Amino acid sequence: MSVSVQRDEWWRGASIYQIYPRSFCDSNKDGVGDLPGIIARLPYVAALGVDAIWISPFFRSPMKDFGYDVSDYCDVDPLFGSLADFDALVTRAHELGLKVVIDQVLSHTSEAHPWFKQSRQGRDNPYADWYVWQDPKPDGSPPNNWLSVFGGVAWQWDSRRCQYYLHNFLTSQPDLNFYNPAVQDAMLETVRFWCKRGVDGFRFDACNFHFHDKELRNNPPFLMDGEVRTAIPQNNPYGMQIHAYDKTQAQNLAFLKRLRVLLDEYKVASVGEIGDEDGVRVMAEYTAHGDKLHMAYSFTFLTDAFSAEHIRTEVENFEARINPVKGWGCWAFSNHDAQRVMTRWGHMLKTPAEKAAFAKLLFAVIGSLRGSFCVYQGEELGLEDAEVPFDRLRDPYGIAFWPDYKGRDGCRTPMPWTVQGEGAGFSTHEPWLPIPQAHQVQAVDAQAAQPDSVLNFYRGFLAWRRNLPVLAKGDIRFMTSPDSVLCFMRSMDRQEVFCAFNLSPEAVEYVVPMPLAALTGHGLGGAEIDVCDAQTKLVLPAWSGFFGKPLAAAD
Protein backbone atom coordinates (compact mmCIF):
# COMPACT_ATOMS: atom_id res chain seq x y z
CA MET A 1 0.00 0.00 0.00
CA SER A 2 1.38 3.39 -0.94
CA VAL A 3 2.32 6.03 1.61
CA SER A 4 -0.32 8.43 0.26
CA VAL A 5 -3.02 5.81 0.78
CA GLN A 6 -1.81 5.12 4.30
CA ARG A 7 -2.19 8.80 5.19
CA ASP A 8 -5.77 8.91 3.89
CA GLU A 9 -7.33 6.54 6.40
CA TRP A 10 -10.59 8.39 7.01
CA TRP A 11 -12.34 5.02 7.20
CA ARG A 12 -10.43 3.79 10.24
CA GLY A 13 -12.77 4.25 13.18
CA ALA A 14 -15.33 6.02 10.99
CA SER A 15 -19.05 6.27 11.67
CA ILE A 16 -20.99 5.31 8.52
CA TYR A 17 -24.69 6.10 8.06
CA GLN A 18 -26.54 3.60 5.88
CA ILE A 19 -29.20 5.00 3.58
CA TYR A 20 -31.74 2.65 2.02
CA PRO A 21 -32.73 4.80 -0.98
CA ARG A 22 -36.26 3.42 -1.45
CA SER A 23 -37.14 4.45 2.08
CA PHE A 24 -35.20 7.64 2.81
CA CYS A 25 -36.95 10.51 1.05
CA ASP A 26 -39.22 10.69 -1.99
CA SER A 27 -38.73 13.83 -4.09
CA ASN A 28 -40.95 13.06 -7.10
CA LYS A 29 -44.10 11.92 -5.29
CA ASP A 30 -44.21 8.31 -6.46
CA GLY A 31 -43.99 6.73 -2.99
CA VAL A 32 -40.40 5.55 -3.47
CA GLY A 33 -37.30 7.33 -2.21
CA ASP A 34 -34.72 8.57 -4.71
CA LEU A 35 -31.35 10.28 -5.11
CA PRO A 36 -32.71 13.86 -5.17
CA GLY A 37 -34.54 12.99 -1.95
CA ILE A 38 -31.24 11.91 -0.39
CA ILE A 39 -29.62 15.18 -1.51
CA ALA A 40 -32.39 17.15 0.16
CA ARG A 41 -31.78 15.37 3.46
CA LEU A 42 -27.98 15.35 3.44
CA PRO A 43 -27.77 18.36 5.79
CA TYR A 44 -29.62 16.28 8.38
CA VAL A 45 -27.10 13.46 8.02
CA ALA A 46 -24.18 15.85 8.23
CA ALA A 47 -25.65 17.44 11.36
CA LEU A 48 -25.84 14.00 12.92
CA GLY A 49 -22.04 14.03 12.92
CA VAL A 50 -21.25 10.86 10.98
CA ASP A 51 -18.22 10.58 8.72
CA ALA A 52 -19.76 8.89 5.70
CA ILE A 53 -22.94 7.69 4.04
CA TRP A 54 -23.39 4.19 2.61
CA ILE A 55 -26.07 4.11 -0.08
CA SER A 56 -27.71 0.77 -0.84
CA PRO A 57 -27.93 -0.13 -4.58
CA PHE A 58 -29.47 2.37 -6.98
CA PHE A 59 -28.31 0.75 -10.25
CA ARG A 60 -30.61 -0.35 -13.07
CA SER A 61 -32.49 -3.41 -11.88
CA PRO A 62 -35.78 -5.31 -12.24
CA MET A 63 -35.99 -4.81 -8.45
CA LYS A 64 -36.87 -8.41 -7.68
CA ASP A 65 -34.43 -8.09 -4.77
CA PHE A 66 -34.77 -4.30 -4.61
CA GLY A 67 -31.56 -3.38 -6.37
CA TYR A 68 -29.36 -6.27 -5.31
CA ASP A 69 -30.20 -7.82 -8.69
CA VAL A 70 -28.29 -5.57 -11.07
CA SER A 71 -28.99 -5.39 -14.80
CA ASP A 72 -26.61 -2.46 -15.53
CA TYR A 73 -23.75 -1.66 -13.15
CA CYS A 74 -22.91 1.66 -14.77
CA ASP A 75 -26.23 3.47 -14.72
CA VAL A 76 -28.81 4.70 -12.22
CA ASP A 77 -32.24 3.10 -12.30
CA PRO A 78 -34.81 5.72 -13.39
CA LEU A 79 -36.77 4.88 -10.23
CA PHE A 80 -34.00 6.66 -8.28
CA GLY A 81 -32.96 9.34 -10.77
CA SER A 82 -30.04 9.73 -13.14
CA LEU A 83 -26.26 9.75 -13.28
CA ALA A 84 -26.45 13.55 -13.08
CA ASP A 85 -28.39 13.19 -9.83
CA PHE A 86 -25.70 10.87 -8.48
CA ASP A 87 -22.95 13.31 -9.42
CA ALA A 88 -24.88 16.09 -7.67
CA LEU A 89 -25.23 13.87 -4.61
CA VAL A 90 -21.47 13.27 -4.42
CA THR A 91 -20.76 16.98 -4.83
CA ARG A 92 -23.24 17.97 -2.11
CA ALA A 93 -22.04 15.28 0.29
CA HIS A 94 -18.45 16.43 -0.10
CA GLU A 95 -19.49 20.05 0.48
CA LEU A 96 -20.99 18.90 3.78
CA GLY A 97 -17.88 16.95 4.77
CA LEU A 98 -19.41 13.51 4.14
CA LYS A 99 -17.67 10.64 2.38
CA VAL A 100 -19.77 8.62 -0.07
CA VAL A 101 -19.76 4.80 0.02
CA ILE A 102 -21.85 2.91 -2.53
CA ASP A 103 -23.11 -0.65 -2.43
CA GLN A 104 -21.58 -2.84 -5.13
CA VAL A 105 -22.89 -6.36 -5.85
CA LEU A 106 -20.16 -8.39 -7.55
CA SER A 107 -21.03 -12.01 -6.87
CA HIS A 108 -24.16 -12.18 -9.03
CA THR A 109 -26.23 -10.21 -11.51
CA SER A 110 -29.89 -10.06 -12.43
CA GLU A 111 -31.18 -12.59 -14.95
CA ALA A 112 -32.06 -9.47 -16.98
CA HIS A 113 -28.39 -8.50 -17.34
CA PRO A 114 -27.27 -8.68 -21.01
CA TRP A 115 -24.42 -10.99 -20.01
CA PHE A 116 -26.80 -13.60 -18.64
CA LYS A 117 -29.27 -13.21 -21.49
CA GLN A 118 -26.47 -14.19 -23.87
CA SER A 119 -24.95 -16.81 -21.59
CA ARG A 120 -28.17 -18.80 -21.37
CA GLN A 121 -28.61 -18.97 -25.15
CA GLY A 122 -26.10 -21.77 -25.57
CA ARG A 123 -22.71 -23.19 -24.72
CA ASP A 124 -20.63 -21.63 -27.49
CA ASN A 125 -21.29 -17.87 -27.26
CA PRO A 126 -18.76 -15.33 -25.84
CA TYR A 127 -20.58 -15.23 -22.49
CA ALA A 128 -21.22 -18.97 -22.19
CA ASP A 129 -18.74 -19.35 -19.32
CA TRP A 130 -19.54 -16.10 -17.48
CA TYR A 131 -21.94 -17.83 -15.07
CA VAL A 132 -21.79 -21.06 -13.08
CA TRP A 133 -23.39 -23.70 -15.32
CA GLN A 134 -23.39 -27.41 -14.60
CA ASP A 135 -24.84 -30.55 -16.16
CA PRO A 136 -27.44 -32.47 -14.14
CA LYS A 137 -26.72 -35.77 -12.46
CA PRO A 138 -27.68 -38.82 -14.55
CA ASP A 139 -31.09 -38.85 -12.87
CA GLY A 140 -31.70 -35.21 -13.81
CA SER A 141 -31.29 -33.86 -10.29
CA PRO A 142 -29.12 -30.84 -9.38
CA PRO A 143 -25.32 -31.24 -9.27
CA ASN A 144 -25.09 -31.26 -5.46
CA ASN A 145 -26.90 -30.38 -2.23
CA TRP A 146 -26.20 -26.65 -2.14
CA LEU A 147 -29.06 -24.45 -0.96
CA SER A 148 -30.11 -20.89 -1.63
CA VAL A 149 -30.01 -18.30 1.18
CA PHE A 150 -33.60 -17.44 0.28
CA GLY A 151 -34.78 -21.03 0.52
CA GLY A 152 -34.77 -24.09 -1.69
CA VAL A 153 -32.16 -25.57 -4.00
CA ALA A 154 -29.37 -23.26 -5.19
CA TRP A 155 -29.55 -24.66 -8.74
CA GLN A 156 -32.10 -23.59 -11.35
CA TRP A 157 -32.74 -25.64 -14.49
CA ASP A 158 -32.51 -23.71 -17.75
CA SER A 159 -34.22 -25.35 -20.72
CA ARG A 160 -32.21 -23.37 -23.30
CA ARG A 161 -28.84 -24.81 -22.29
CA CYS A 162 -30.26 -27.94 -20.66
CA GLN A 163 -28.06 -27.20 -17.67
CA TYR A 164 -28.43 -25.90 -14.14
CA TYR A 165 -27.12 -22.49 -13.13
CA LEU A 166 -26.07 -21.57 -9.61
CA HIS A 167 -27.95 -18.91 -7.65
CA ASN A 168 -27.01 -18.40 -4.02
CA PHE A 169 -29.96 -16.03 -3.60
CA LEU A 170 -33.10 -15.71 -5.76
CA THR A 171 -33.43 -17.74 -8.94
CA SER A 172 -33.39 -14.36 -10.72
CA GLN A 173 -29.87 -13.70 -9.34
CA PRO A 174 -27.49 -16.04 -11.22
CA ASP A 175 -23.97 -16.30 -9.84
CA LEU A 176 -21.06 -15.09 -11.93
CA ASN A 177 -18.17 -17.45 -12.63
CA PHE A 178 -15.16 -15.76 -11.06
CA TYR A 179 -12.88 -18.53 -12.27
CA ASN A 180 -13.20 -16.84 -15.65
CA PRO A 181 -10.59 -14.00 -15.82
CA ALA A 182 -12.84 -12.04 -18.17
CA VAL A 183 -15.52 -11.91 -15.47
CA GLN A 184 -13.05 -10.55 -12.93
CA ASP A 185 -11.85 -7.94 -15.40
CA ALA A 186 -15.40 -6.87 -16.22
CA MET A 187 -16.39 -6.53 -12.58
CA LEU A 188 -13.27 -4.51 -11.78
CA GLU A 189 -14.18 -2.15 -14.60
CA THR A 190 -17.59 -1.54 -13.04
CA VAL A 191 -15.78 -0.56 -9.85
CA ARG A 192 -13.47 1.73 -11.80
CA PHE A 193 -16.49 3.45 -13.36
CA TRP A 194 -17.71 4.64 -9.95
CA CYS A 195 -14.21 5.44 -8.71
CA LYS A 196 -13.92 7.89 -11.60
CA ARG A 197 -17.21 9.50 -10.53
CA GLY A 198 -15.70 10.42 -7.19
CA VAL A 199 -16.96 7.86 -4.69
CA ASP A 200 -14.92 7.50 -1.51
CA GLY A 201 -15.66 3.86 -0.82
CA PHE A 202 -17.56 0.69 -1.61
CA ARG A 203 -19.56 -1.70 0.49
CA PHE A 204 -19.14 -5.02 -1.27
CA ASP A 205 -22.23 -7.17 -0.92
CA ALA A 206 -21.83 -10.91 -0.20
CA CYS A 207 -18.11 -10.58 -0.87
CA ASN A 208 -17.30 -14.13 0.26
CA PHE A 209 -19.63 -15.61 -2.41
CA HIS A 210 -17.46 -14.86 -5.45
CA PHE A 211 -16.00 -18.36 -5.77
CA HIS A 212 -17.39 -21.86 -5.31
CA ASP A 213 -15.70 -25.22 -4.92
CA LYS A 214 -14.71 -26.38 -8.41
CA GLU A 215 -15.28 -30.02 -7.43
CA LEU A 216 -18.87 -29.15 -6.38
CA ARG A 217 -18.56 -31.18 -3.19
CA ASN A 218 -21.66 -31.47 -1.01
CA ASN A 219 -21.87 -29.26 2.05
CA PRO A 220 -21.81 -31.22 5.33
CA PRO A 221 -24.74 -30.95 7.76
CA PHE A 222 -24.67 -28.39 10.54
CA LEU A 223 -25.26 -30.25 13.79
CA MET A 224 -27.37 -27.84 15.82
CA ASP A 225 -26.16 -27.30 19.37
CA GLY A 226 -28.67 -24.66 20.40
CA GLU A 227 -26.25 -21.80 19.86
CA VAL A 228 -27.36 -18.91 17.66
CA ARG A 229 -24.58 -18.70 15.09
CA THR A 230 -26.13 -17.06 12.06
CA ALA A 231 -28.85 -14.64 11.05
CA ILE A 232 -30.64 -17.36 9.07
CA PRO A 233 -34.25 -17.98 10.25
CA GLN A 234 -34.72 -21.30 12.02
CA ASN A 235 -37.31 -22.45 9.47
CA ASN A 236 -34.88 -21.94 6.56
CA PRO A 237 -33.04 -25.17 5.60
CA TYR A 238 -30.03 -23.08 4.55
CA GLY A 239 -29.05 -23.05 8.22
CA MET A 240 -28.92 -26.84 8.29
CA GLN A 241 -25.64 -26.95 6.38
CA ILE A 242 -22.06 -25.94 7.05
CA HIS A 243 -21.36 -23.89 3.95
CA ALA A 244 -17.89 -25.25 3.35
CA TYR A 245 -17.98 -25.41 -0.43
CA ASP A 246 -20.51 -22.94 -1.84
CA LYS A 247 -18.72 -19.82 -0.57
CA THR A 248 -15.64 -18.47 1.31
CA GLN A 249 -13.18 -20.28 -0.95
CA ALA A 250 -9.43 -19.64 -0.79
CA GLN A 251 -9.38 -18.45 -4.42
CA ASN A 252 -11.27 -15.33 -3.38
CA LEU A 253 -8.21 -13.89 -1.64
CA ALA A 254 -6.35 -13.41 -4.93
CA PHE A 255 -9.33 -11.58 -6.43
CA LEU A 256 -9.61 -9.32 -3.38
CA LYS A 257 -5.95 -8.43 -3.83
CA ARG A 258 -6.66 -7.44 -7.43
CA LEU A 259 -9.59 -5.38 -6.20
CA ARG A 260 -7.41 -3.65 -3.59
CA VAL A 261 -4.85 -2.60 -6.21
CA LEU A 262 -7.63 -0.83 -8.10
CA LEU A 263 -9.02 0.78 -4.95
CA ASP A 264 -5.60 2.03 -3.92
CA GLU A 265 -5.12 3.57 -7.36
CA TYR A 266 -8.06 5.88 -6.60
CA LYS A 267 -7.49 6.07 -2.82
CA VAL A 268 -10.94 4.55 -2.30
CA ALA A 269 -11.89 2.54 0.80
CA SER A 270 -13.83 -0.71 1.08
CA VAL A 271 -15.97 -2.62 3.55
CA GLY A 272 -17.01 -6.18 2.83
CA GLU A 273 -20.16 -7.95 3.95
CA ILE A 274 -19.31 -11.40 5.31
CA GLY A 275 -22.08 -13.98 5.47
CA ASP A 276 -20.42 -17.01 7.04
CA GLU A 277 -20.86 -19.30 10.06
CA ASP A 278 -17.44 -18.11 11.28
CA GLY A 279 -17.80 -14.49 10.27
CA VAL A 280 -15.14 -13.15 12.64
CA ARG A 281 -12.50 -15.45 11.18
CA VAL A 282 -13.34 -14.40 7.63
CA MET A 283 -13.43 -10.72 8.62
CA ALA A 284 -9.87 -11.05 9.87
CA GLU A 285 -8.71 -13.03 6.85
CA TYR A 286 -10.23 -10.59 4.34
CA THR A 287 -8.71 -7.49 5.99
CA ALA A 288 -5.29 -8.93 6.86
CA HIS A 289 -2.00 -7.35 5.78
CA GLY A 290 -3.53 -4.27 4.14
CA ASP A 291 -3.69 -5.89 0.69
CA LYS A 292 -7.35 -6.94 0.46
CA LEU A 293 -10.39 -5.19 1.96
CA HIS A 294 -9.86 -2.19 4.21
CA MET A 295 -12.50 -3.42 6.66
CA ALA A 296 -15.27 -6.00 6.91
CA TYR A 297 -18.37 -6.76 8.92
CA SER A 298 -20.32 -9.93 9.54
CA PHE A 299 -23.71 -10.85 10.98
CA THR A 300 -22.10 -11.39 14.40
CA PHE A 301 -24.22 -8.68 16.04
CA LEU A 302 -27.22 -9.01 13.71
CA THR A 303 -28.64 -12.11 15.42
CA ASP A 304 -30.75 -12.53 18.56
CA ALA A 305 -27.67 -13.30 20.68
CA PHE A 306 -27.26 -10.44 23.16
CA SER A 307 -25.10 -10.27 26.26
CA ALA A 308 -21.96 -8.58 27.50
CA GLU A 309 -20.19 -11.92 27.16
CA HIS A 310 -21.27 -12.33 23.53
CA ILE A 311 -20.02 -8.87 22.52
CA ARG A 312 -16.76 -9.33 24.41
CA THR A 313 -16.13 -12.81 22.99
CA GLU A 314 -16.70 -11.80 19.38
CA VAL A 315 -14.57 -8.66 19.57
CA GLU A 316 -11.79 -10.44 21.47
CA ASN A 317 -11.80 -13.27 18.94
CA PHE A 318 -11.48 -10.76 16.13
CA GLU A 319 -8.74 -8.81 17.88
CA ALA A 320 -6.76 -11.99 18.57
CA ARG A 321 -6.85 -12.83 14.87
CA ILE A 322 -5.98 -9.40 13.49
CA ASN A 323 -3.30 -8.24 15.91
CA PRO A 324 -0.51 -10.05 14.06
CA VAL A 325 -1.86 -9.11 10.61
CA LYS A 326 -3.24 -5.59 11.11
CA GLY A 327 -6.83 -6.15 9.98
CA TRP A 328 -9.76 -3.86 10.76
CA GLY A 329 -13.37 -4.51 11.67
CA CYS A 330 -16.62 -2.69 11.05
CA TRP A 331 -19.50 -3.37 13.42
CA ALA A 332 -23.25 -3.06 12.91
CA PHE A 333 -26.20 -3.68 15.22
CA SER A 334 -28.84 -3.06 12.50
CA ASN A 335 -29.08 -2.90 8.73
CA HIS A 336 -31.47 -3.51 5.84
CA ASP A 337 -31.08 -7.31 6.10
CA ALA A 338 -31.86 -7.79 9.78
CA GLN A 339 -34.60 -7.07 12.26
CA ARG A 340 -33.89 -3.74 13.94
CA VAL A 341 -31.78 -4.05 17.06
CA MET A 342 -34.43 -2.38 19.23
CA THR A 343 -36.70 -5.32 18.43
CA ARG A 344 -34.08 -8.10 18.46
CA TRP A 345 -32.31 -7.04 21.65
CA GLY A 346 -34.83 -4.67 23.21
CA HIS A 347 -37.99 -6.76 22.94
CA MET A 348 -38.20 -7.07 26.75
CA LEU A 349 -38.48 -3.31 27.27
CA LYS A 350 -41.91 -1.86 28.01
CA THR A 351 -41.74 1.88 28.66
CA PRO A 352 -40.56 4.68 26.34
CA ALA A 353 -37.99 5.70 28.95
CA GLU A 354 -36.49 2.20 29.07
CA LYS A 355 -36.39 2.00 25.30
CA ALA A 356 -34.71 5.38 24.97
CA ALA A 357 -32.09 4.47 27.58
CA PHE A 358 -31.41 1.19 25.80
CA ALA A 359 -31.08 2.84 22.38
CA LYS A 360 -28.61 5.37 23.77
CA LEU A 361 -26.61 2.67 25.53
CA LEU A 362 -26.29 0.54 22.39
CA PHE A 363 -24.97 3.48 20.41
CA ALA A 364 -22.43 4.29 23.09
CA VAL A 365 -21.29 0.66 23.01
CA ILE A 366 -20.85 0.40 19.24
CA GLY A 367 -19.25 3.84 19.13
CA SER A 368 -16.67 2.78 21.72
CA LEU A 369 -15.60 -0.60 20.34
CA ARG A 370 -12.39 -0.81 18.34
CA GLY A 371 -13.30 -0.61 14.68
CA SER A 372 -15.51 1.40 12.38
CA PHE A 373 -19.28 1.14 12.72
CA CYS A 374 -22.48 1.54 10.74
CA VAL A 375 -25.69 3.30 11.76
CA TYR A 376 -28.78 2.21 9.85
CA GLN A 377 -31.26 4.96 9.00
CA GLY A 378 -33.85 5.31 11.77
CA GLU A 379 -31.57 3.70 14.34
CA GLU A 380 -30.81 7.21 15.60
CA LEU A 381 -34.54 7.55 16.36
CA GLY A 382 -34.68 4.32 18.34
CA LEU A 383 -37.07 2.75 15.83
CA GLU A 384 -38.27 -0.82 16.28
CA ASP A 385 -39.25 -3.14 13.45
CA ALA A 386 -42.55 -2.26 11.83
CA GLU A 387 -45.32 -4.83 11.71
CA VAL A 388 -46.14 -5.16 8.01
CA PRO A 389 -49.31 -7.13 7.16
CA PHE A 390 -48.95 -10.00 4.72
CA ASP A 391 -50.83 -8.23 1.95
CA ARG A 392 -48.31 -5.36 2.07
CA LEU A 393 -45.16 -7.52 2.13
CA ARG A 394 -42.73 -6.85 -0.72
CA ASP A 395 -39.69 -8.91 0.33
CA PRO A 396 -39.62 -12.30 -1.48
CA TYR A 397 -37.66 -13.73 1.45
CA GLY A 398 -40.46 -12.87 3.87
CA ILE A 399 -43.24 -13.98 1.55
CA ALA A 400 -41.58 -17.39 1.19
CA PHE A 401 -41.17 -18.00 4.93
CA TRP A 402 -44.20 -16.16 6.34
CA PRO A 403 -45.57 -16.27 9.03
CA ASP A 404 -42.71 -17.68 11.16
CA TYR A 405 -40.27 -15.35 9.43
CA LYS A 406 -41.71 -12.16 8.02
CA GLY A 407 -38.71 -11.05 6.05
CA ARG A 408 -36.92 -7.73 5.92
CA ASP A 409 -39.76 -5.33 5.16
CA GLY A 410 -40.17 -4.50 8.85
CA CYS A 411 -36.76 -2.82 8.95
CA ARG A 412 -37.14 -1.19 5.54
CA THR A 413 -40.23 0.97 6.05
CA PRO A 414 -39.79 4.66 5.16
CA MET A 415 -37.97 7.15 7.35
CA PRO A 416 -40.36 9.26 9.49
CA TRP A 417 -39.35 12.91 9.14
CA THR A 418 -42.42 14.68 10.55
CA VAL A 419 -45.02 13.93 13.19
CA GLN A 420 -47.71 15.61 11.11
CA GLY A 421 -48.77 14.55 7.63
CA GLU A 422 -49.97 11.31 6.12
CA GLY A 423 -46.59 10.38 4.67
CA ALA A 424 -44.53 11.44 7.72
CA GLY A 425 -42.53 13.83 5.54
CA PHE A 426 -41.24 10.93 3.44
CA SER A 427 -43.70 11.32 0.57
CA THR A 428 -47.00 12.94 -0.33
CA HIS A 429 -47.89 9.72 -2.18
CA GLU A 430 -48.72 6.39 -0.56
CA PRO A 431 -45.31 4.96 0.48
CA TRP A 432 -44.15 1.69 -1.06
CA LEU A 433 -44.24 0.22 2.47
CA PRO A 434 -46.53 1.49 5.23
CA ILE A 435 -45.22 3.86 7.91
CA PRO A 436 -46.54 2.77 11.31
CA GLN A 437 -47.95 5.32 13.70
CA ALA A 438 -45.42 4.19 16.31
CA HIS A 439 -42.65 5.37 13.98
CA GLN A 440 -44.29 8.67 13.11
CA VAL A 441 -44.49 9.77 16.74
CA GLN A 442 -40.71 9.21 16.89
CA ALA A 443 -40.13 11.39 13.83
CA VAL A 444 -37.07 13.55 13.31
CA ASP A 445 -38.82 16.86 13.93
CA ALA A 446 -40.28 15.66 17.23
CA GLN A 447 -36.98 14.32 18.53
CA ALA A 448 -35.00 17.34 17.35
CA ALA A 449 -37.13 19.45 19.72
CA GLN A 450 -36.50 17.17 22.72
CA PRO A 451 -33.10 17.76 24.37
CA ASP A 452 -32.99 14.25 25.88
CA SER A 453 -34.18 12.38 22.77
CA VAL A 454 -32.34 9.47 21.22
CA LEU A 455 -31.61 11.62 18.16
CA ASN A 456 -29.99 14.37 20.18
CA PHE A 457 -28.01 11.80 22.13
CA TYR A 458 -26.57 10.48 18.86
CA ARG A 459 -25.61 13.99 17.80
CA GLY A 460 -24.02 14.77 21.13
CA PHE A 461 -22.18 11.48 21.45
CA LEU A 462 -20.68 11.70 17.96
CA ALA A 463 -19.52 15.27 18.62
CA TRP A 464 -17.94 14.14 21.92
CA ARG A 465 -16.33 11.07 20.31
CA ARG A 466 -14.80 13.20 17.56
CA ASN A 467 -12.61 14.86 20.17
CA LEU A 468 -11.33 11.52 21.48
CA PRO A 469 -9.28 9.89 18.69
CA VAL A 470 -8.49 7.05 21.08
CA LEU A 471 -12.10 5.82 20.70
CA ALA A 472 -11.74 5.76 16.93
CA LYS A 473 -8.30 4.25 16.48
CA GLY A 474 -6.94 3.11 19.84
CA ASP A 475 -6.27 -0.41 21.06
CA ILE A 476 -8.82 -2.29 23.18
CA ARG A 477 -8.31 -4.41 26.28
CA PHE A 478 -11.26 -6.06 28.01
CA MET A 479 -11.37 -6.11 31.80
CA THR A 480 -12.94 -8.31 34.47
CA SER A 481 -16.43 -7.17 35.41
CA PRO A 482 -19.83 -8.56 36.50
CA ASP A 483 -21.59 -10.75 33.93
CA SER A 484 -23.96 -8.03 32.76
CA VAL A 485 -21.26 -5.39 32.37
CA LEU A 486 -19.16 -4.88 29.26
CA CYS A 487 -15.92 -3.28 30.40
CA PHE A 488 -12.78 -2.39 28.47
CA MET A 489 -9.93 0.11 28.17
CA ARG A 490 -9.14 1.99 24.98
CA SER A 491 -5.60 3.27 24.67
CA MET A 492 -3.46 5.16 22.16
CA ASP A 493 -0.39 7.40 22.44
CA ARG A 494 -0.40 7.20 26.26
CA GLN A 495 -4.06 8.27 26.35
CA GLU A 496 -6.50 5.87 28.02
CA VAL A 497 -10.28 5.82 28.28
CA PHE A 498 -12.08 3.38 30.56
CA CYS A 499 -15.50 2.24 29.28
CA ALA A 500 -18.14 0.31 31.22
CA PHE A 501 -21.71 -0.49 30.12
CA ASN A 502 -24.44 -2.16 32.14
CA LEU A 503 -26.42 -4.31 29.71
CA SER A 504 -29.11 -5.29 32.19
CA PRO A 505 -32.37 -3.92 33.68
CA GLU A 506 -30.87 -3.95 37.20
CA ALA A 507 -28.35 -1.61 38.80
CA VAL A 508 -24.86 -3.03 39.21
CA GLU A 509 -22.22 -2.12 41.77
CA TYR A 510 -18.64 -3.31 41.51
CA VAL A 511 -15.08 -2.31 42.28
CA VAL A 512 -12.65 -1.35 39.52
CA PRO A 513 -9.03 -1.96 40.61
CA MET A 514 -7.78 1.50 39.64
CA PRO A 515 -8.60 5.11 40.55
CA LEU A 516 -10.76 6.77 37.89
CA ALA A 517 -11.93 10.27 37.08
CA ALA A 518 -15.22 10.61 35.22
CA LEU A 519 -15.26 11.89 31.66
CA THR A 520 -18.28 14.06 30.90
CA GLY A 521 -19.99 15.42 27.81
CA HIS A 522 -21.00 12.09 26.26
CA GLY A 523 -24.63 12.22 27.38
CA LEU A 524 -24.81 8.97 29.37
CA GLY A 525 -25.86 9.91 32.86
CA GLY A 526 -26.58 8.23 36.16
CA ALA A 527 -23.32 6.45 36.97
CA GLU A 528 -21.76 7.08 40.38
CA ILE A 529 -18.14 6.62 41.42
CA ASP A 530 -16.36 6.57 44.76
CA VAL A 531 -12.58 6.70 44.48
CA CYS A 532 -10.63 5.29 47.38
CA ASP A 533 -6.87 4.67 47.31
CA ALA A 534 -6.07 2.47 44.32
CA GLN A 535 -9.62 1.50 43.37
CA THR A 536 -12.98 2.91 42.32
CA LYS A 537 -16.42 1.77 43.40
CA LEU A 538 -18.65 2.09 40.36
CA VAL A 539 -22.46 2.08 40.50
CA LEU A 540 -24.17 1.68 37.12
CA PRO A 541 -27.97 2.06 36.91
CA ALA A 542 -29.93 -0.13 34.50
CA TRP A 543 -29.01 0.39 30.83
CA SER A 544 -26.30 2.92 31.59
CA GLY A 545 -22.63 3.48 30.91
CA PHE A 546 -19.58 5.22 32.27
CA PHE A 547 -16.46 6.73 30.71
CA GLY A 548 -13.42 7.59 32.77
CA LYS A 549 -9.69 8.17 32.79
CA PRO A 550 -7.17 6.60 35.13
CA LEU A 551 -6.52 9.32 37.69
CA ALA A 552 -2.87 9.54 36.84
CA ALA A 553 -3.86 10.62 33.36
CA ALA A 554 -6.84 12.76 34.37
CA ASP A 555 -6.94 16.47 33.63
pLDDT in tens, 7-48: 479 999 999 999 999 999 999 999 999 999 999 999 999 999
Burial 124-143 (b: 16+ CB within 10 A, else e): eeebbebbbbeeeeeeeebb
Whether residue 231 is predicted with pLDDT greater than 80 in this model: the reply is no
What pLDDT, on the 0 to 100 scale, is given for residue 342?
Answer: 98
Digit-coded pLDDT (tens) for 260-314: 999 999 999 999 999 999 999 999 999 999 999 999 999 999 999 999 999 999 9
Domain 474-553 homologous superfamily, CATH: Golgi alpha-mannosidase II (2.60.40.1180)
Alpha-carbon distance of 89 to 39, in angstroms, equals 6
Instruction: Provide mean pLDDT across the span 188-193.
Output: 98
Distance (Å, whole) CA 57 – CA 105: 8
**Predicted confidence (pLDDT) at residue 323 exceeds the cutoff of 90:** no
Q: Which residue has the higher pLDDT, 224 or 183?
A: 183
User: Model pTM?
Assistant: 0.96
CATH fold for the domain made of 3-107+181-212+247-465: TIM Barrel (3.20.20)
Q: Is residue 384 annotated as part of the catalytic site, yes or no?
A: no
Q: Which one from 69, 103, 200, 205 is the annotated catalytic residue? A: 205
Distance CA 217, CA 183 (A): 23
- Report the pLDDT value the prediction gives residue 225, as an integer from 0 to 100: 58
* Cβ-Cβ contacts under 8 Å for 79 (sequence gap 6 or more): 30, 32, 34, 63
Domain boundaries, the chain: 3-107+181-212+247-465, 474-553
392-410: average pLDDT? 95
Is a pLDDT exceeding 50 seen at residue 554? no
pLDDT number for residue 1 = 31
**Which tens digits make up the pLDDT trace of 466-501?**
999 999 999 999 999 999 999 999 999 989 999 999
205 is catalytic: yes
Q: pLDDT digits over 105-141, tens only?
A: 999 999 999 999 999 999 999 999 999 999 999 999 9
What value does the mean pLDDT take over residues 352-363? 98
End-to-end CA distance of the chain: 38
Active-site option among 8, 9, 95, 265: 265
